[in-house]
Amino acid sequence: MLETSMDMQQLHRAATAYYLDDMRQAEVASLLGVSRPSVSKLLAEARRIGMVRFEVLDVPSVDLGELAAQVRELLGLEAVRIAPGDQVQRGYRGLGELLGEELAGLGLRRGEVLLISSGTTTHAVSQVPGLPDLPGVVVAPTVGGQQEFDPSFQTNETARAFADRTGALPRFIFAPALPSPSLWESLQADPSFLAITELWDRARVLVTGVGAPFEEREAITSVLPREDPDLRRAIGDVCLHFFDAEGRMITHPGAERLVRPSVEQLRAIPTSIALAVGRAKAGSIRAGARTGMFTSLITDVPTAEALLADS
């Protein structure tokens, strides 16, 4: 049995090369400097301890194209794509595959800008297989979060993971989500911060999550005032822009200092793709579509059915 941390690292390298990078066992052996039989043993051990998992997808019980058309009409979006099954249980892999197809179809060129938001879903999808090669495309975060403990809200790391998967060029925000008044003032003259805001202005694509109702959320950016009465009635958010059930924007103390693109900047992005799953998010997605901050939705069957049932 493999026990040492070095062995675990070797297991991970072998599994990543074989299952994610599509290398043959002989190539993995050469990469690791071991024999081919040793690679087979490493892969078997990775499966045994759960480092590698397989899933057999259900035969679709619904017409995904028809379901997507119904949701698109309900929300008034340009496009809706639906992954089979419950994507939370499946590690968001289906969302990653559909996002990969969408991005590949856009034909992004070197120097063009893709923005990515913080959140559980975007963080997970940035690390799953299926994303396309995007050499030379600039990937930038939409919100600050340098001080966050939860990896889902360290948006620089989400941008880095996405860039690692796609070969894109990451850019970073060196600021918390909610700077102090003095730091906010200094950021307005900081060249690195101004470079990020310039990317927000010329972004071609946004990949964003849709936050759940504020009072029901277990995970959220730590700097927000949890007990603020206005925020507590927020049904969701996009890039830290909170809204009520009618899609009206909600303000709160310190909102003017949040590091994020403006609503107008988000609405001006040609292609804005929201990734959102979970029956509890049906109201958040519906209201979010009314804000005009995303043009497309990628979700799963249970969420789509909840959207239609609640309409």
pLDDT at residue 10 is higher than 90: no
**Where along the chain do its domains lie?**
5-48, 64-309
Give the SS3 label for residue 216: helix
Q: What would the pLDDT profile of 185-237 be if each residue is shown by its tens digit?
A: 999 999 999 999 999 999 999 999 999 998 877 666 767 777 888 888 999 99
Query: Over 50: is that where the pLDDT of 93 sits?
Result: yes
- The answer, yes or no, to whether residue 269 has pLDDT greater than 70, is yes
Sheet of 79-83: strands edge to edge? 79-83, 296-300, 271-275, 205-209, 113-116, 138-141, 169-170
Strand order in the sheet with 249-250: 236-238, 241-243, 249-250
Mean pLDDT computed over 48-57:
73
| pLDDT in the model for residue 53 | 74
CATH topology of domain 64-309: Rossmann fold (3.40.50)
pLDDT surpassing 90 at residue 276: yes
- List phi, psi (to 5°) of 163: -65, -40
pLDDT more than 70, % of the chain: 93
Pick the CATH number of 5-48 from 1.20.120, 1.10.1220, 1.10.10, 1.10.3480: 1.10.10
Two structure tokens written together for 72 = 């698109």
Reported as a pLDDT band with limits 50, 70 and 90, residue 58 is low
Average pLDDT over residues 91-104: 94
pLDDT at 285 over 80: yes
pLDDT band at 90 (very low <50, low <70, confident <90, very high): confident
User: 219 or 174: whose pLDDT is higher?
Assistant: 174
Cα separation, 224 vs 76, whole angstroms? 31
Query: Binning pLDDT at 50, 70 and 90, where does residue 5 land?
Result: very low
Residue 97 pLDDT level (bands cut at 50, 70, 90): very high
pLDDT digits (tens, 9 = 90+) for 105-141: 999 999 999 999 998 999 999 988 889 999 999 999 9
1 pLDDT more than 50: no
Q: Which residues contact 140 (CB under 8 A, 6 or more apart)?
A: 113, 114, 115, 116, 159, 170, 171, 172, 173, 196, 199, 200, 203
Q: How many helices (H) and strands (E) does the chain have?
A: 12, 10
Q: Give yes or no for a contact between 99 and 132, defined as CB atoms under 8 angstroms apart.
A: no
Q: How far is CA 152 from CA 128, 147, 184, 253, in A?
A: 14, 12, 23, 23
Which of 119, 206, 131, 142 is CA-nearest to residue 165?
131
- Distance CA(89)–CA(80), nearest Å, equals 21
72-81 confidence digits (pLDDT tens): 999 999 999 9
pTM (two decimals) = 0.80
Candidate from 106-110, 166-170, 229-233, 257-261 with smallest mean pLDDT: 229-233
Position 2 scores a pLDDT of 46
What does the longest C-alpha to C-alpha distance in the chain come to? 63
